[in-house]
A and B are shown apart, each in its own frame.
Chain A
Amino acid sequence: MTSKANIKYAGFVFGMILTLTMTTNSALAASTCDGGSACWQIGAEHTISGIVDINADVNTPPVPTSVTGTTLYWIGADTVQGTNKYLTQPELLAVPGDNKWRITLESVNYANGNDVNYYFSNMEYSSGKSMYMEDVVFPVGHVRAGQNFQDVEDLSVGFGASQYFNGVTYGNSFNKMYAELESYDFTGSHFSALNSHSISFTNYQSETTPGGTGTLQTLTATKWASSGTAPSCITSTAGSGTITISASGC
């Protein structure tokens, strides 16, 4: 009896440890934070296939001037080439000192959470602006195959920043799309400027073929943190072609 009890106990503990290990690894693999830092993302995502172009309109909310960690919002997508998986993300980066959102373009290698491309622009915006974001990879046989094109434009004046990234070889289609507010600051009260305001991604669409017609996408609202917990005062909802990230009581 004692021997059987020992075996049962050992089996139970073994099972618990195995489950815990698998759960932890699964959660860590769900997304990425640059350089292994701890971050959270609130927004939406959707698994796709064969997509070459995603684009959306988005507004600029008040800048969270008291944030102490890097904060940005972006559309983006995953693309795989061989054993490499990249996240490409045209974005607006909070610059608390300037009280502005700055256009930056970025791609990250999932394998190590490190940047492979990072471009600063000279375009900064306060709240109340309408912007356009686009993220593209090119199909097999295209003259730009293996590259990634990112574009963020100011829809009121028309200035913009775009770039063809070719530092690494990207895939020929996207397989997961995102719209996220991302931060490395876990203190909810630091986002008080966003109270009663929202980041609204609208007209979020994708295209499967070059020159094809855009299709509005319905993403699934998500809240994720690599460790710790994302602020409970920020939430997201998603509908057809829309993702709204709202703050209340931060």
Chain B
Amino acid sequence: MYTQKAKGENEKLKMNINNKQKIVIAAVLIMGGLATFMTMNVMSTQSAVAQVADHRPTPPEPFSIAVNGHNEPAIVTLKRGQTEQIDVLIGPKIAGIIGNVSVQSVRPICGTPEANVISKCIPSGITAFISENTVSATKHMVLTITADPNMPSGFYAYEVTADTTMNVPYQDTPIHVGNISAFGIQVT
């Protein structure tokens, strides 16, 4: 009896130790796994920060645009009822890129669907066309602007845009990048 009892106590003790060991091992495994996960998270954040130092990556500037000979915003004077042709010198700053070229008013034309949502608009009465819609090498284009006889006199903001899609080394997805050259039409 004593032997059997002692054997039973011994088995109980072993089971108890086994249970304790299982709990400790499970706790260690859970904590170890979480600690590894946390370390990986922190390390990946730190390495991302370290790679770019204190600068945000900015895409390269793709195009240069000069309206009427000016790299800075220029004002073109136009009498009502007249048409003017303006020189636009435009070219890629990066070899091999092809850009889409367009001209538009900065604010939408009043009465269009865009002007129903955007806060400010300009009266209709100015038309603007550029002679080419793509650019792959530096070239002169012709910007033709016309003011209707009924166009109210005033200053109207316009812009020539050249843009493209390119891959940049610091991100996985391509980026749409462009240059906007502002100019103003002073209708007299």
Contacts and interface: CB of A to CB of B under 8 A. Distances in A.
A21 B161 CA distance: 46
B49 interface: yes
Interface in A191-224: 207, 210-211, 214
B176 A214 contact: no
A119 B178 contact: yes
Given A17-B38, A122-B65, A37 B52 contact: yes
B59 interface: yes
Nearest to B49: A38
B77 interface: no
B133 interface: no
Interface string B95-109: 000000000101100
A3 B18 CA distance: 11
**Contact residues of A: prevailing secondary structure:** mixed
Size category of the A interface is 35 or more
Contacts of A88: none
Given A112-B172, A160-B159, A210 B117 contact: yes
Nearest to B165: A167
Nearest to A149: B118
A53 B56 contact: no
B145 interface: no
Contacts of A14: 27, 30-31, 34
Nearest to B56: A70
B37 to A, nearest CB: 7
Given A37-B56, A149-B118, A151-B107, A18 B176 contact: no
B19 interface: yes
Nearest to B163: A119
Interface of A: 2-3, 6-7, 9-10, 13-14, 17-18, 20-21, 24, 28, 33-39, 52-53, 55, 68-70, 105, 109, 112, 114-123, 134, 136, 138-139, 142-144, 149, 151, 153, 157-163, 165, 167, 184-186, 207, 210-211, 214, 227
